[in-house]
Chains A and B, each alone.
Chain A
C-alpha cells in the first residue's frame, strides 16, 4: 500500500536495548572480550559443527538476554540478499576451482559438492557473525563499549595513541546511528509531504538511486550540522580537560563475570576446534 517511514525499525543493528538480564548485567570488559573471542572463533572456524554451535549459542544468549528471536532475525533481513548473493558467488567459484564428489552442469554453470559446502559455510558464517554482532549491540551500551575499549586499549598509550580519543570516536559514531535513522525519517516525511514518493519500487536501479539523492544530500548536511553542535557540546562539557579518566561505574568483577568469561572462552575454543 504505502511506504513506512519507521527507519528506526530497520536498524536493530546498532541499537542498544536497556533490559535487565543476566547478560546485560555483566561487566563491560567481560562482554566485549567474550564477544570478540566468539566473533574471531566464528571467522576462523572451518567446519560446520563449530558454526552451528555458535548459531545455537547465539539463540540461547538471545533468550538469556530476554530479546525475542523474531526481533533479532528481522534485523538479519536487510542483509539477506547480500548473503545469498555472496553464497551464490562462492558456490560457483569454488565449484570451478575444486573437484567435488558430485557435479551438475547447466550450460556454462557448474556446481559441485565442495562448492555447495563452501557456499553454505559462508552463508552460515555470515548469519552467525551478524547475530553475534547484533547481540553485542543489544547488550553492550555504547558507553560500556567505550569504557571497555578505553581500558583494553590502554597499552596503546606507549605507542602514542590515546585510548580515550579512539573510544570517544567510536562512541560518537555509535550514538549517531539511531539519530541518522530518525533524521532520515524526518527528511523523507518532509519530501513525501511535498509529493515525493518513497519505496514504491518503480523504475530501474538508476532511477531509484536518483530518487535517493535528494534524500541523502540534506541528510548529509544535517548530520554535519548536528556533528558540529555535538562537538561544541562535548567541548563545552570540558572534554579537552587532560585530567584523569575515571568513570561512572567501575565495578569489580563478580564470580558471575568470571564464570561468564570462562564459558565464553570455552565456547570460542569449541567453535574453533569442532
Chain B
C-alpha cells in the first residue's frame, strides 16, 4: 500500500506556561491522512486542533513521537523547505499572515522563496489573483482590504505554491456566510483535483462537507470516521463540547414527531429533499399564518440620514455609511447583517459614541449624539462588546478586568458589582476573580469580556460578532445569556454573520449593503418573501428553508423563530389533520 501523505505516530506536545508549568496540548496522537483526502478537524476551544495542524508543516516539532509528511520526518530541519512547500496553511486572522505591503507582492512572497524565475512568478501570481478575484486590487495595500478580500489574499499566498495539502485553521471565521461558501467551494474544487484538504472548524455544517471527521478532545483523538459515523451519537458529540450538524439536529426532532421526516440527514439539502408531503388535506394557509406583531414599543435608538467616511480628506478616504436609518424599540433585539465591509461595525460604533455622526442624527436613549456634552454618558447607557474582545483585555486578572469600567464610573460597592456581572454570564465570582486572563479558555474569555461590559449595567447592549471563534457549546451558552438579558428588558443590537446561532433571539433584521440599509423587517418577513440577499452575503437560515419547504409541500405551518416552535407547529398541523378526519 502507498505511503499516506501524512503519518503521525504517538505525538506528544506540551506548552510551557510562564510560571514554568507544563501544559499538555497533545497526548499520544496516532493518525494517517491519505493523499487527496478531505478531513475536517473539530473539537472544543483548547482541544489541541491548532497545535496538531502546526505539526503537519513543521511549525511545531513533537516533544515525543514523530510526524512524517510524504515520507519526510519533520525532525529533519533540512527537509523543512520541502515539507512547507507540500503543506500550505492558512490561519484564523488573515491580516497577521500578510508579509508585503502590496497585494501582488504578497502573493509572490512564497514563490520568491522557492527561487522561481521572474517570468514564472509573474505568471503564477497573475493566475492566482484572477482565480481568487483579487486582480483589480493587486496594487492596493492589504490593510485597506475588506475582511473577505484579505482572507482570499492569505489563501492566494499559500495556494500559489501549489501545495499537495492545504490546511485551513479556522480560516473562514471572519467571513460572511456567502464568503465562507465561496471559499469552501474553491478549495473543495482543488480537493477534487487531488489536493489534500484539512479543515479545522467550529461549524459542524462545514465539517460534514468533509469525507472524514476527526474529533479532538483534550489533546487526544476522541472520534474518527465518516461524518455519518462521527455524528451518529449525539450525546457523545455534546459531551465533547460540540453539537450535531444543524440539519441533523432539526431532522431528529421532526422525526420524533412524524416518522416521515428523514432520520439522519447530514446536509441541509438532504433534509429539504426529504421533507414529506402533508399527509392530510390541507386547510388554507391564511388560517395559520398568524401575524403576531405586537404594538411597537417606545424607540430607544433612532438613526436618521447617518453618513460616515473613514480617513476623510486623505487619498485613502472611503465611504462606510450613507443615508442610514435605523429604529430599535425598547427591549428588542435587532440583528445587523450584511457582507463584510457593508458598514455593520461602523454603524454599531455610532450607537455608543465611539464615532460621532459626520452627517445625520443619532439618538440613543435620552442622548443626542450630535449635541452631546459628555460622550461617556452614552457609552455607559449603550455598552459595546467589540469584535474579538479578548484581544483587547487590559488587565491581568479577571476581577480587575471586569472592575475596569465601574471603577472609572466611581461605583461604590465595586466588589458587589463585579460579582453581579460575572454571575450574569454564569461565572462564579469566587472561583474566577483571581484567575489570570490568559489561562482562560476561549469561551470563558468571551464571557469575561461580556461581563466587563455588563458591569456598567447598560440599558442597551451592542455586540459585534459575539459568536465568532467560539465552539458550539460556548455559542449555546452565550445565546442563553443574551436571552436572559433580553428577558430583563435590555435592548440588543447585534452585528453578526451567524444569524442561525441567534435566530431565537431576534425580533428584527437590518440588512446592510454597501453602507446603506437595504432591507429591514422581522426575520419571517425577510426570509418568507424570499428577498434576494445573496449580494448581502447572507444565506437563508436552515430553519426558514425548512419552513418554506414544509409550506410548499402542503403543511399548514406558520413562520416561526426557533426549532421548538417549529416542532410544535408540525405536531399541531398533524393533530389538526387528524381532527378533520375524525
Contact = CB atoms under 8 A, between A and B. Distances in A.
Interface of A: 1-2, 5-6, 8-9, 12, 15-19, 67-68, 70-71, 141-143, 171-172, 174-175, 178-179, 182, 186-187, 189-197, 214-215, 217-218, 222, 225-226, 229-230, 232-250
Contact of B89 (A1, A189, A215, A236): A236
Given A190-B392, A192-B354, A195-B408, A241 B114 contact: yes
A240 B91 CA distance: 19
A178 B143 contact: yes
B314 A9 contact: yes
25 contacts: A2-B372, A5-B354, A142-B102, A143-B100, A143-B101, A143-B102, A175-B100, A186-B386, A186-B391, A187-B392, A189-B349, A193-B384, A194-B379, A194-B405, A215-B394, A229-B97, A232-B91, A233-B154, A234-B99, A236-B57, A237-B157, A238-B85, A239-B109, A242-B81, A248-B108
B16 interface: no
Given A143-B100, A236-B84, A222 B143 contact: no
Contacts of A19: 315
A187 B394 CA distance: 9
B310 interface: yes
B96 A16 contact: no
A11 B314 CA distance: 11
Contacts of B158: 236-237
A243 B372 CA distance: 61
- Among A5, A71, A195, the one with the most B-chain Cβ atoms within 10 Å of its Cβ is A195
A237 B392 contact: no
Interface residues of B, number: 75
B380 A246 contact: no
Contacts of B161: 237-238
B198 interface: no
B403 to A, nearest CB: 10
A267 to B, nearest CB: 25
B315 A233 contact: no
Nearest to B89: A236
B121 A246 contact: yes
A218 B409 contact: no
B241 interface: no
B186 interface: no
Interface in B347-386: 349, 352-356, 372, 375-376, 379-380, 383-384, 386
B362 to A, nearest CB: 13
Contacts of A175: 98-101
B225 interface: no
B573 to A, nearest CB: 46
A210 to B, nearest CB: 13
Given A187-B392, A236-B158, A239-B113, 18 more contacts: A1-B356, A2-B372, A9-B314, A18-B140, A171-B101, A175-B100, A186-B391, A192-B354, A193-B352, A193-B384, A194-B453, A195-B409, A214-B394, A217-B394, A238-B84, A240-B80, A240-B81, A246-B121
